[in-house]
Amino acid sequence: MRNAEQTQNITRNRRGTRMGFLIFNHVMLNLFQHLFRSRNKFGVTLFVSFLIFNCLFTGCAKKKIVRPPEPVTTIEKQTEEPSLRGKEYKNVPQLATVYFDYDNATLRPDARNILAKNASWLKDNSDVEIIVEGHCDERGTTDYNIALGDRRAKSVRSYLMKLGIKGNRMATISYGEERPVDSGHDEAAWSKNRRADMLGRIPENVPKEILNDKVIKKKNPKK
């Protein structure tokens, strides 16, 4: 809500600028007439070019840079990826490994079948948190492979989410080419290494988190 004084100021300012503009126009018109009548060609051209010049510059200055809006990332709590720092995950025999094609993070049909089985196991064991590890073969450089492994882990995670597993149960990590299953240097070894492993753990801190929430609420009472 604006108070009365502010609105008055605004109107006054507006009037001021309007008056200034009118006076300026009047002076400029008179000057132009005078120049035109005195047949001062040079003066007229100077005047006109000055006007054009002004128009161009004010036009330039007023142009705003239009930037595309930054993509908004809204993450719901249920789909948010949990932190995996300081957590230990163990091998779960029921969760099978998924394999990928070279330099590719898309899921093959056989991988989708495996993931469907993994998802049904995860639904039955709803207290298990998992980590999806993305791995690559040794070809390619370290940083590109870490990034590629991340995409592999993320594509597995998002497919499992589509199958109904909550996102806050699944963390991802990429090891790139650092943890091969087979240390050979041929296609047989490479095809085993291009994979996404799923490891599991049973969280102990579920009730603690709820407790922590309560503590935080107590510490910061509503104003």
Site residues, another protein (CB under 8 A): 41-42, 45-46, 49, 52-53, 56-57, 60, 65, 70-71, 73, 81, 83-87, 103, 139-144, 146-148, 150-151, 154, 172-176, 178-179
Give the span between the Cα atoms of 178 and 50, in whole angstroms. Answer: 68
In this complex, which beta carbon is closest to another protein, that of residue 43 or of residue 163?
A: 43
Q: Six-digit token pair at 134?
A: 């993305």
In this complex, which beta carbon is closest to another protein, that of residue 84 or of residue 163?
A: 84
Give the span between the Cα atoms of 84 and 73, in whole angstroms. Answer: 21
Amino acid identity, residue 220?
Answer: N
Nearest distance from C-beta of residue 202 to another protein, angstroms: 17
Nearest distance from C-beta of residue 190 to another protein, angstroms: 9
Q: Six-digit token pair at 139?
A: 């070809």
Nearest distance from C-beta of residue 101 to another protein, angstroms: 13
Nearest distance from C-beta of residue 84 to another protein, angstroms: 5
- Start-to-end C-alpha separation, the chain: 22
In this complex, which beta carbon is closest to another protein, that of residue 29 or of residue 55?
A: 55
Contact by Cβ (8 Å): 175, 138: no
Nearest distance from C-beta of residue 18 to another protein, angstroms: 29
Q: Which helix (H) or strand (E) holds 134?
A: strand 129-135
Cα 96 from chain centroid (whole Å): 31
In this complex, which beta carbon is closest to another protein, that of residue 162 or of residue 217?
A: 162
Nearest C-alpha neighbor of 132 from the set 157, 166, 151: 157
In this complex, which beta carbon is closest to another protein, that of residue 70 or of residue 124?
A: 70
DSSP class of 133: E
